[in-house]
Structure 1
């Protein structure tokens, strides 16, 4: 019975019939995130996703959490060359040397931002004046891959030493952490997300 109910729910077009994908779409995507640990998690996962599908990363997410010290930036910043080599042998993550190295580099840059702004949350949300942008896209085709804001964010993050943080990755991050509401207007999550103004 639950299954047939699930199939009648209107979701964003990109959300396939995969239960993991649907759970992510229904409970996380577009919900404003203000917890630094979770922001760091999305930063790492979005970087790992570059060039791959998000479902690939979602399936590896639990393992990432395990091997990346529960996404604790302090611990990840201390990863040694030996630890990185070990991670590159692990089939449970995306075994790309540049991406794994970037995760460690980004942890160090993340800690510097925390020190400067008091929290990464305060810094990253400053790009939208601490308030989610409410879009009204009717179809998937209308949703941009990047925007002027994601361009600015990417430029600033790169200046601060972050890697794997191009404008498209930044926009995907903005969507994931609720800085923009990009659920299409016919999606069952559009209105509930719109109510989450902060």
Structure 2
């Protein structure tokens, strides 16, 4: 059976970190029964594992650069295979066109749709600097690098899926409850 795959982008014209992705993914899991797979969480867990790849991942993340596709895809694929659910919500991946093409080629899976959450860069920066989760990538220099990476590479992924009619755009600058009302409207037809 082919899994139902939703790629979640809570992002904006200027980048995506800090748009409330974790909050909305938790709501989607609770209300619609999807398994949430965060590429960032999987990478951070691998970085803390002490493995050879873990050290490289930690160094790349602290610099705000994208981890090689093969590594992230292997972590995502492993997580999917270890889960009994066939409905997955993946966030934070693909980050660029090469990630997208590699994921679809290796797994044979294309998402049903892509959530694109629009939020101003100023609001995302404010959220990141106040969330205080102790993450190595939540500092002003890395945050701004992440915004730049989005503009240079992730927007191509959004444009690709938009050309296929798969992008669902939601205003993420509103309060979380209002954002989730818009999310529910997107998910309702596929329940």
Q: TM-score range by the shorter chain?
A: under 0.3
Higher strand share: 2
Please report the TM-score for the alignment, with normalisation by the length of structure 2: 0.27
Q: Which has the higher helix share?
A: 1
Q: Max radius of gyration: which structure?
A: 1
TM-score (norm 1): 0.27
